[in-house]
């Protein structure tokens, strides 16, 4: 049986938890692929190499830089899961400020804390075979990715915007109908247009779509009353690196 | 002088990264350090300069296992700064959302992370080979919790529907949730019976407990802070009583309570301080499981968690039964400069947040004290008491015992700054 490994770097554990949250499918997934290395779920540490490695979290310490190279060496396919691994995560907000300043806010002895100046995606360090977006990732997309790699094909994951999902779901456009700031037009689909279904604007959990027209959206957001500071902040959340960390994303 | 160093890879079936160093001389433990080397993520720093209403969405990302706890403590801290108290049906909905998180998080820990320790399996999935009905029951229970979180919060991990003052949208009807929750309640009662039959090491510790206490509820969403020595204080006095300090060996801060380290928060603390307020079925299940009035055996925390799942299911059903949709999905909350404190009972223990809002409605300061940072020193005490009389055991056996002792506390290491690298040095 082929082997699956799940690795964690700087993150909240939410994306690997998504695998355990496949309550109806977990035991059948385990019957199809050997969960050889998955520290959150098992004390058994099956030896590599692994056919598929799912990597959660961003690279944020000197040790991480070495460890991800090891993960790449022992993995036939490496798939990053979630905003931290594909974009640096919320902890990449340090990239805009400075890690020393951040450490000084949290720790009395920041000199005792080992952290890199920047929090970076996995692809900045090693070749990645596929990036699954989301903060957190979507359960159905995760099962699609595992199934696709088992079948030896590319995962069918859309690259279009959340707007398409919104239309499919029949949501009224919160931006047009309510003037609510929404990143849907520039954000990749995957969540099922969740936030607009809850009467709020998209805040970009899945990162930028394949060809975002941020300039057009930003003009609309300014017209709806957003200030420059607000506009900058709305892009600076969980995908700050891939959105470019600014309102010019 | 002989030196012996043993290493075991990262600690498993916990959330986060950690290691343990033990030094011993003449049969006595001279030094014991639970090292949390989870990379620091600097939430308290990155919140500075954000809009006052952003922390619920941002701090949810501290923990994928208990995002609701982060959202609830953040909301209450910020609402208190702005002079707003959420009551009535909106508070009921928050409680309901939180019960969903308790059910999924406790079911995850009981079935997939903790029970394998008692039955001799490396994982819940491996356990399914010979205990399939139990594992399926656990997964169904966990699913019921996740579905409840998704129904009220929009998504099981990092819910999107929470906002200051209440919700973005309130459900029109909760009755479809009742059927699955009634089945979950039966599964939870079966869980108590199942886990209470496990073989528990005969260990008791003289814990100093800390938990929220509410006059009318088994405190989850709110309450004063109660300590087992009989003292209590309002949440806004937290900084006067609980002080965090940095220790050299860990990226997680250690908390002291009234000048002393080593107190415990979480299921054992809540049970010790609030058991009479458990729901009727949960109380009966606790009595039948032989828990007693106070449980000081950390290995039996799995029973307390199971009892808390019963409570969460029963209370959730009660809330669904009495639910009338509120007229507005949220109370208005306007930013005002000032400081606000909030605390709630995450599945792993008391989670405290403090924020200072500035004149521009931005976060000027943020302080988050997660349960694991509070428990870390006490977990070290548990380990010391466990290891010292057993220093003669083979290292592999000792490591396994230590891992079990740590898992008793379900430490969420990703929150507090993964798992076990045991170095045992005999000096």
With CB atoms and an 8 Å threshold, state whether A13 touches B403. no
pLDDT beyond 80 at B415: no
Task: Determine the pLDDT at residue A224.
Answer: 84
Residues 14-53 of A with CB under 8 A from B: 14-15, 17-18, 20-21, 23-24, 26-27, 30, 35, 38-45
- Give which of B153, B6, B187, B7 is closest to B66, Cα–Cα: B153
B296: burial class by Cβ within 10 Å (0-12, 13-18, 19+)?
Answer: middle
DSSP state of A172: P
C-beta separation of A162 from A206 below 8 A: yes
Task: Determine the pLDDT at residue A248.
Answer: 46
With CB atoms and an 8 Å threshold, state whether A112 touches B246. yes
DSSP state of A42: B
With CB atoms and an 8 Å threshold, state whether A103 touches B40. yes
Task: Determine the pLDDT at residue B414.
Answer: 47
N-to-C CA span, chain B: 6
pLDDT beyond 50 at B426: yes
CB nearest B125 (choices: A14, A30, A200): A30
User: Distance, in angstroms, between A44 CA and closest chain B CA?
Assistant: 5
User: What average pLDDT is seen over chain A?
Assistant: 92
- Mutate one of B39, B63, B127, B154 to test the A interface: name it (highest A CB count within 10 A): B39
In chain A, list all ranges with CATH 3.40.50.700.
2-151
With CB atoms and an 8 Å threshold, state whether A90 touches B58. yes
B179: Cα separation from own chain's centroid: 27
With CB atoms and an 8 Å threshold, state whether B160 touches A35. no
Average the pLDDT over each of A208-222, B207-221, B344-358 and give the range with the smallest value: A208-222
Task: Determine the pLDDT at residue B245.
Answer: 79
C-beta separation of B409 from B266 below 8 A: yes
> Model confidence at A40, in pLDDT bands (50, 70, 90)?
confident
Compute how many other C-beta atoms are within 10 angstroms of the C-beta atom of residue A217: 22
User: Facing residues of B35 across strands?
Assistant: B19
Task: Determine the pLDDT at residue B117.
Answer: 93
- Give which of B276, B274, B271 is closest to B297, Cα–Cα: B271
Task: Determine the pLDDT at residue A6.
Answer: 96
What is the ipTM metric for this complex?
A: 0.95
B59: Cα separation from own chain's centroid: 15
With CB atoms and an 8 Å threshold, state whether B40 touches A113. yes
DSSP state of B13: S
User: Facing residues of B12 across strands?
Assistant: none
CA distance A58 to A62: 12
Torsion of CA A73, A76, A77, A83, to 10 degrees: -20
Helix (H) or strand (E) holding B351: strand B349-357
Measured between beta carbons, the chain A residues lying within 8 angstroms of B418 are 8, 39-40
In this prediction the pTM is 0.94
User: Distance, in angstroms, between B81 CA and closest chain A CA?
Assistant: 21
Torsion of CA B296, B300, B306, B308, to 10 degrees: 10
With CB atoms and an 8 Å threshold, state whether A14 touches B67. yes
Which tens digit of pLDDT belongs to each residue from B265-302? 999 999 999 999 999 999 999 999 999 999 999 999 99
Tell me the count of A-B CB pairs closer than 8 A: 183
User: What average pLDDT is seen over chain B?
Assistant: 90
> Model confidence at A241, in pLDDT bands (50, 70, 90)?
confident
N-to-C CA span, chain A: 44
> Model confidence at B4, in pLDDT bands (50, 70, 90)?
very low
With CB atoms and an 8 Å threshold, state whether B46 touches A41. no
Query: Please, where are the H alpha helices in B154-205?
Result: 178-196
CB nearest B48 (choices: A17, A105, A113): A105
pLDDT beyond 50 at A143: yes
Mean pLDDT of A226-230: 89
* Higher pLDDT among residues B188 and B11, named by residue: B188
* Higher pLDDT among residues B383 and B145, named by residue: B145
Specify whether domain A2-151 bears CATH 3.40.50.300.
no
Mean pLDDT of B30-58: 87
CA distance B48 to A106: 11
Task: Determine the pLDDT at residue B53.
Answer: 97
Compute how many other C-beta atoms are within 10 angstroms of the C-beta atom of residue B110: 27
């Amino acid at each position: 049986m082929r082997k699956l490994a799940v690795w964690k770097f700087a993150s909240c554990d939410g994306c690997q938890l998504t695998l355990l949250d496949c309550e109806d499918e977990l035991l059948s997934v385990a019957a199809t692929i050997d969960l050889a290395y998955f520290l959150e779920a098992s004390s058994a540490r099956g030896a590599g190499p692994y056919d598929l490695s799912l990597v959660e979290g961003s690279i944020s310490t000197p040790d991480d830089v070495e460890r991800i190279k090891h993960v790449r060496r022992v993995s036939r396919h490496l798939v990053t899961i979630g905003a931290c691994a594909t974009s640096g995560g919320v902890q990449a907000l340090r990239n805009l400020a400075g890690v020393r300043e951040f450490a000084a806010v949290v720790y009395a002895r920041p000199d005792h804390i080992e952290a890199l100046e920047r929090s970076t995606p996995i692809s900045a360090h090693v070749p990645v075979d596929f990036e699954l977006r989301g903060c957190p990732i979507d359960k159905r997309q995760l099962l699609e990715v595992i199934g696709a790699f088992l079948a030896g094909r590319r995962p069918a994951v859309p690259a279009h915007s959340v707007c398409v999902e919104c239309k499919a779901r029949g949501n009224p456009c919160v931006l047009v109908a309510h003037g609510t700031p929404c990143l849907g037009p520039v954000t990749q689909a995957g969540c099922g247009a969740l936030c607009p279904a809850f009467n709020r604007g998209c805040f970009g959990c899945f990162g930028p779509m394949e060809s975002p027209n941020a300039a057009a959206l930003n003009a609309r957001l300014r017209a709806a009353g957003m200030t420059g500071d607000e506009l900058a902040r709305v892009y600076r959340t969980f995908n700050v690196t891939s959105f470019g960390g600014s309102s010019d994303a | 002088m002989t030196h012996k160093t043993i290493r075991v890879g990262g600690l498993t079936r916990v959330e986060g990264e950690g290691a343990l160093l033990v030094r011993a001389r003449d049969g006595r433990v001279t030094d014991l350090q639970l090292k949390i080397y989870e990379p620091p993520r600097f939430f308290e720093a990155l919140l500075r300069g954000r809009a006052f209403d952003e922390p619920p969405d941002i701090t949810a990302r501290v923990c994928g296992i208990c995002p609701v706890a982060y959202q609830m403590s953040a909301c209450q801290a910020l609402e208190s700064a702005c002079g707003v108290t959420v009551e009535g049906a909106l508070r009921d909905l928050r409680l309901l959302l939180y019960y969903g998180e308790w059910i999924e998080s406790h079911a995850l820990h009981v079935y997939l992370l903790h029970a394998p320790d008692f039955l001799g399996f490396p994982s819940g999935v491996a356990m399914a080979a010979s205990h399939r009905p139990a594992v399926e029951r656990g997964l169904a229970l966990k699913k019921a919790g996740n579905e409840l979180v998704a129904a009220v919060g929009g998504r099981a991990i990092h819910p999107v529907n929470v906002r200051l003052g209440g919700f973005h949208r309130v459900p029109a009807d909760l009755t479809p949730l009742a059927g699955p929750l009634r089945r979950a309640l039966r599964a939870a009662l079966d869980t108590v019976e199942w886990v209470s039959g496990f073989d528990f090491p005969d260990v008791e510790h003289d814990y100093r407990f800390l938990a929220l206490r509410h006059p009318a509820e088994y405190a989850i969403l709110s309450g004063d802070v109660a300590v087992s020595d009989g003292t209590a204080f309002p949440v806004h006095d937290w900084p006067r009583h609980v002080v965090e300090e940095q220790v050299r060996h860990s990226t997680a801060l250690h908390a002291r309570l009234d000048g002393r380290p080593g107190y415990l928060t979480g299921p054992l603390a809540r049970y010790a301080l609030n058991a009479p307020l458990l729901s009727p079925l949960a109380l009966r299940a606790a009595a039948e499981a032989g828990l007693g009035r106070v449980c000081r055996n950390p290995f039996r925390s799995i029973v307390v968690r199971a009892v808390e799942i019963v409570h969460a299911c029963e209370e959730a059903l009660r809330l669904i039964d009495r639910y009338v949709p509120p007229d507005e999905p949220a109370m208005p909350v306007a930013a005002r400069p000032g400081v606000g404190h909030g605390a709630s009972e995450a599945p792993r223990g008391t989670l405290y947040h403090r924020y200072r809002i500035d004149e521009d409605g931005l976060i000027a300061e943020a302080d988050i004290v997660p349960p694991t940072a509070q428990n870390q020193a006490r977990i070290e005490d548990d380990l010391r008491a466990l290891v010292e009389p057993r220093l003669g055991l083979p290292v592999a056996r000792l490591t396994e015992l230590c891992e079990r002792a740590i898992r008793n506390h379900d430490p969420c290491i990703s929150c507090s700054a993964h798992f076990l690298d045991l170095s045992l040095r005999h000096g």
